[in-house]
Structure 1
């Protein structure tokens, strides 16, 4: 028998590109003279799109239904950027199964509508699909989920079904380095469909007898894998990609739909908050202040590039605030010694990313911009540091409000290992919106 598997990953709510992918599959799947499946590898949801934000991902699931998705797993965007309750209801109307082996609630239950693995029999051949997602432990814990080690979860799931399947397919939302490790540790896997690190293989890549396939990000590609199976064993496997530019063009209205759904008024008086990335603007200063207030800390630090768009209108809607701060970024509260805080302040003064393009870690803007410090001072000529009006003592402990993307090591390596509290599910736009509604003199 022959089986074609179409696969997408990390769409991140690029729904126009996804509509083109869907149109291609709708045209070509019926023409196949053998069985086919369509699988999505997670991070289809991204709240940076107003339509996804307004529907908490339900529109994405509707589009997966329309595309005749046969099986999906969750990525970190489904697992961490919507509330615990929203994830539990995300797939209530899904016309496809969803599987993930390493996310549970505190009572040991999978999210509603999820299974720990999935069986499918086609022409007498038994397929086992096992999936896992990236273990961003502190974020999941903040949302009352428990995420376990993906490698051990996959191994346990495979072991528990030993002898019950003929073909083994892993759906990984953990990244390319994890997938390469899987190839070495579990050579019995026939196929790994990969995602999370936005990598792609034009013709797949085989390691230790395991074929890896991945389709990049943002709907740039549709992946296609063909398996030839004889006597219930895979005898040939190959992979290819279909660039979105080669797929049918379609007309969509996702932006207008989202704007209409987010037309609720936030404030009804004129406001002008400009965007600048190379100097402190009023809008960035207010955002820094709102982060400090929300985290109940002594001072805060953000980057000006978080403000993506001016806010200038006679009336401000939910959509306007979303466009200003489209990032799925949360605030954090960090407790740290004065000596570490000083090193953070010193590093911020270098302004290393003032004109740099930035991406990843939830950032959905373009230029990173300069650091903006609130309630924090530094006298360079005297090498004196201040927070909340007091001089910083190396041995004292202080509280700093900032954003989660600074805690991963890229921007402030000294923060890794500090006492970090992730405050979820509110995003920066939620915090900023509350500030606008509360302080009417802005």
Structure 2
């Protein structure tokens, strides 16, 4: 018999409610867990956050609780949260998200405003052989977003340092569940040699064979349930790790049954049924066109102005993944039209810079830009639409019925993805307000009710 103890660690990250491979993934981990236990080995399974994504109808309809049930069924031991769990849901929905969780939720840098931790900061597991494994989690610090949702998120570097100080002397193996990104994971590995393993997420990076940085072994599985991560550790009689090996399993190569193939379709159908509730009666056909301004654009532009009271609005036609016909509009239709976990924002912008933005987005190739991440769930940027901001034939730009003044400050309503600095670096530094937890489809629904009346009234 092998005198060394074997510990298996399976990990997932950034699944984003992509359930096409979920049944075979779940079965694989359950079967491996049972096999390892039969062999006398210990097994732990962790999820690194962004398992939830409100772009899926069932996730949206159940406020993420359907996702929690899937993790229960898989037999996950612990999770940390990502930004999709943390800042795309109302405070009360996140607070109650894990009420029926049969696993540990670990976040060391998120608190209620009164200082109470959102979840456990850390936990120590002990194997049948007496090996102690300390695990803690950290999540990406979107300070302004969390603050507006009545949470306090703290510096993750400080949180890691605190957890290492508390746990390192008490455990034989120390694991960080990180939903912050590859650069952060590499940096904390350099700073803290006590970290045995760092499991990473958020930046959708993939380490097919793991990577060593300082004394730490890093693991990450990309995105969308494409891979399962696996680490195998050997521990001697003194509970010292004598070997570590990392790899990934491609989920599209796992055995699939007929029931597996039906699962994703059934989950989508169930979510749509739950969202099939009429909100208002639309009196017009609102068609979509990626490259032309349509009535759908104008409707949403007016919605942004009414909702925020801004001077003008800017958004891209690519956010619309369909059209709205005249008739009853349901939550399911709006979810299909605007599945993005994107919020509305207002930014204080000087006229000179507003003119710069307007001219920049007139570039011929702008509508064909492929947009990835930032909460966007479409494909192409599409035409940039401006509401209450327009150019006359002589080239003069107006806001409403007034000529734009270069030195005057205007309040611009837009989508949060344009405020992060990727498309317009200067916007990231300007004063802004985010409207949360309402997503852009909620603002669309609000304006529909304002325009046509509520069906519940």
| Contact persistence 2:21–2:252 (CA under 8 A) | no
Match of 1:8 among 12, 19, 34: 12
Query: Aligned-pair distance for 1:109?
Result: 1.3
Match of 1:236 among 239, 243, 261: 243
Match of 1:41 among 40, 45, 48: 48
| Contact persistence 2:167–2:174 (CA under 8 A) | no
| Contact persistence 2:230–2:247 (CA under 8 A) | yes
Q: Does residue 383 of structure 2 align to residue 370 of structure 1?
A: yes
The match for 1:80 is 87
Paired positions, count: 438
Match of 1:206 among 195, 212, 216: 212
| Contact persistence 1:17–1:218 (CA under 8 A) | no
Q: Does residue 419 of structure 2 align to residue 415 of structure 1?
A: no
Distance (whole Å) between structure 2 residues aligned to residue 391 and residue 233 of structure 1: 72
The match for 1:163 is 169
| Contact persistence 1:274–1:281 (CA under 8 A) | yes
RMSD after superposition? 1.5
Distance (whole Å) between structure 2 residues aligned to residue 313 and residue 47 of structure 1: 26
Q: Does residue 132 of structure 2 align to residue 126 of structure 1?
A: yes
Query: Aligned-pair distance for 1:39?
Result: 0.5
| Contact persistence 1:11–1:18 (CA under 8 A) | no
Which deviations, in whole Å up to 9, do the C-alpha atoms of 1:263-314 show, x marking residues without a partner? 1112346652222111112112211221121111011000000001122364
Which deviations, in whole Å up to 9, do the C-alpha atoms of 1:83-139 show, x marking residues without a partner? 11111100000001100111112111122xx11111111121111112101111111
Q: Does residue 121 of structure 2 align to residue 116 of structure 1?
A: yes
Distance (whole Å) between structure 1 residues aligned to residue 133 and residue 31 of structure 2: 26
Distance (whole Å) between structure 2 residues aligned to residue 329 and residue 170 of structure 1: 29
Match of 1:255 among 256, 261, 268: 268
TM-score normalised to structure 1 length = 0.96
TM-score normalised to structure 2 length = 0.93
Query: Aligned-pair distance for 1:353?
Result: 2.8
Query: Aligned-pair distance for 1:379?
Result: 3.7
Q: Does residue 73 of structure 2 align to residue 66 of structure 1?
A: yes
3-state secondary structure, aligned to 1:170: strand
Distance (whole Å) between structure 2 residues aligned to residue 380 and residue 243 of structure 1: 57
3-state secondary structure, aligned to 2:169: coil
The match for 1:405 is 417
Unaligned ranges ≥5, structure 1? none
Distance (whole Å) between structure 2 residues aligned to residue 210 and residue 120 of structure 1: 19
Distance (whole Å) between structure 2 residues aligned to residue 426 and residue 7 of structure 1: 31
3-state secondary structure, aligned to 1:192: strand
The match for 2:350 is 337
| Contact persistence 1:118–1:129 (CA under 8 A) | yes
Unaligned ranges ≥5, structure 2? none
Distance (whole Å) between structure 2 residues aligned to residue 161 and residue 176 of structure 1: 23
| Contact persistence 1:23–1:248 (CA under 8 A) | no
Query: Aligned-pair distance for 1:378?
Result: 2.3
| Contact persistence 1:376–1:387 (CA under 8 A) | yes
3-state secondary structure, aligned to 1:386: strand
Distance (whole Å) between structure 1 residues aligned to residue 203 and residue 282 of structure 2: 43
Q: Does residue 393 of structure 2 align to residue 388 of structure 1?
A: no
In structure 2, the CA distance between the partners of 1:153 and 1:380, relative to structure 1 (3 Å rule), is farther
| Contact persistence 1:351–1:371 (CA under 8 A) | no
Distance (whole Å) between structure 2 residues aligned to residue 337 and residue 353 of structure 1: 23
Q: Does residue 202 of structure 2 align to residue 196 of structure 1?
A: yes
Query: Aligned-pair distance for 1:348?
Result: 2.1
Distance (whole Å) between structure 2 residues aligned to residue 4 and residue 319 of structure 1: 41
| Contact persistence 2:204–2:223 (CA under 8 A) | yes
Query: Aligned-pair distance for 1:381?
Result: 4.2
